[in-house]
Structure 1
Amino acid sequence: MGRDPSTMVASPTSSELNNESASEWATCSNCSEQTVVRPCPARCGVAAYCSSLCLLHHKTVHRSFCRPTIAPVATKDAEDVLVETDNNAEGNEVVDEDDDEDDMPLLDRLQVAEKPPAFLKKTFSSLFLLPSKLKKLLPSDDQAIAPEIADDAAPTPFVHHHVCSPRANLSEPWSRFSADFNMLKFFVHQSGPAGFQLELGADGGLVVVGISRPRVWAMGIRPGDQLDRIGGMSTSGLAPDEAFRCLYRADLPTVLRFRATARVQRETWTVLLQDRLGVTFAGDGRLDIPVVDRVVARTDESPQVGDLLIVVNDVYDAVAHGLSATLRYIHESPRPVALTFQRLLSDASPMPRPPSEPTLLTEREPSDVATEMPPSSVRALCATTLSSPSGNVVLVWRDGFLGVTLVEHPTSGLPTVHRLTGKGQTPLVGQLAPGYTLCL
């Protein structure tokens, strides 16, 4: 495996010995390949290798004559005289034959040590890291400097600044006892005209200015009440005609929420639910107050349309939890279940007579209708503020069959009811008769 030391390459120059990365084109001492070689790591000057593998294979032969150059050391002999000790002599070298560790590092390790450290992406990003926040230490009592106060100066009174919590400005929790809830009125619109007139108030809200239907008056709606929501949709920023347009396009029945100017009066009663109550509930949008919108099976104790469910089993606040959670609680509760309702108490004052207004569908002669037809702006207002005198029928047609056939009047050219087909499901369509004229 080894070679004769006489055939090894010549010793490198002094400049190469001083530079660990020096390399030359010569013959490898192990594989005899003519290539780029590096001198012996021990700097013996008699061997060179092309790789660490050749150095590893050749170290058994090479260690027998490889002597690293060590400077002589001055020591004292037995007579206390300084003598020079040659550490390169064979007698001064103590070699542990059992030690398999090589005193010559591998060439690959030297090459790695000579290379600069790799510049990784993480290293680059660390250059732009912000310095960590250092906690500013307060000075100790010994280092603290007392402020200079004049002897004749009056002491400054201590002013205590009370910082309020953000929650302190919030209103009371939403429940059946809150003041906001006790100012609300609810009306369930089932069909036909709205039965009230609106105008913009000083704060931009929709304020009721007139009542034209007795049912609306009986439900406790009064002039001055503000319309808050239509089927759960806020009326903020809507004009009166836009609000009525939303009302007529909403699904029936629709729950309307009004806000009174003061606390309203309600009566309260409790019903024991054994099997089925016979009513359905609808939420009025945000906060989902349970409102009775349909009565399926009427009994003496069953609530009416527009009544509010406020408490279940005397402990569960239906106003605070909302419609969905309340219905789930009723379904999971054992029977019987105690349901507490509230109904608005309205005064017994008679409804004022509504002013006469132009009609939409009338039995008058077509010539009178043609001559008294209001302009488009007035007709748009009449569509939202209708009265119910005798002979006037207002239909809200959303889908399906209308239930009537119309023909053109020979004189005025307006659509006129020819006959009723009996297939229509539109509310109040049965009150029409042949000869009615469609005005709008």
Structure 2
Amino acid sequence: MASEETEVVVVGAGQAGVAMSEHLGAEGIPHIVIERHRIAERWRTERWDSLVANGPAWHDRFPNLEFPDIAPDAFATKEQVAEYFVAYAEKIGAPVRCGVEVTSVRKHEGRAGFRVETSEGSIDARFVVAATGPFQRPVIPPIVPDGAVATQIHSSGYRNPEQLPEGAVLVVGAGSSGVQIADELRRAGRRVFLSVGPHDRPPREYRGRDFCWWLGVLGLWDLTTPPQGAAHVTIAVSGAHGGHTVDFRALADTGVELVGMTAAYDKGVLRFVPDLAANIAAGDEKYLALLRAADAYVERNGLDLPEEPQAHVLGPDPACVSDPRLELDLAEAGVTSIVWATGFAADYGWLDVDAFDENGRPDQRRGISREPGVYFLGLPWLSRRGSSFIWGVWHDARYIADHITTRRGYLAYGSN
């Protein structure tokens, strides 16, 4: 690919990049989508084998294409999600170039636009959309030194129980990934410890409706800023086994031992923060608050939805919560593996522009950065709570496309 020109370069061909391409194409804006691997690669190779989407197929999709051969209330497998985006890209004729890596983006000196350097040459673009999303660099806290156990991996590197050496497993992080991995390992006959931090725990389904529906009718998807202290709180919800509400008490009853947040390591012993009961209680309150809001909505609108009084009954705390373990001798417990379900950090080392704050985070509002012509897409809370979901990124992309269209109009004024 020799040096060329286009109006917009979109970096990344996951859900964000494909959504961006649809809206740019609808506006007739010339663009190129650059993807260093394959379309939706992270769904293919950076997730465990049994992963399914956390939202039902009727909800977790773009508006203009349904999932084929999947019931509306079912949960798509990771392979089905990846193929969905491939099909969507074909449907809209997205100009995706796979196997090409963007190595740098720099602003032109003395004129508008940017020079995009790639592994196959350079591209001059008036606008650049960073659609690489939030899952760029796996984060493993520097707590347990190398060699302390046989295996330490991030959840993005976990595939199945057979991948890990024989022995007990500590899973650190109790969001959707950590909970599902811990449950899978327990079902495979492993002894499992699950380190639980602050979390949100919505019901999978309540009164015959999925929690995605409840957040929609209650207007909670449209929250524009996270509640105090909740910007990075994980959501414990699962689409596995047909979808179910995550219940830490039930998980403990099956044999998973819950512990608090992982704090420190010294001479083979892990120490946990004495916060397990508080974390469980806070998650319970968020769960119950949503049930109460749903009940009020049903009554207010006269809906004929079956009551579920038993959903409000939580039951007693298991012993591991009421009398939590604060230390774990890894060798004594037979722990040979630690799976860190501890999230990701962004990596914009290739984007050499003035679009970041003093902490290196994108300085943007609804995806529009402080560097004119540079946009971010696919980030949590980009415009609202729903921005992290497949349907949410589609709407965020439309907003950015509208902004690019408007800016092109200003730049074109007087050029004829």
Task: Choose 1 or 2 for highest CA Rg.
Answer: 1
For Structure 1 versus Structure 2, the TM-score category normalised by the shorter chain is: under 0.3
TM-score (structure 2 length as normaliser): 0.19
TM-score (structure 1 length as normaliser): 0.18
**RCO higher in structure (CA 8 A, sep ≥6):** 2
Which structure has more helix as a fraction of its residues? 2
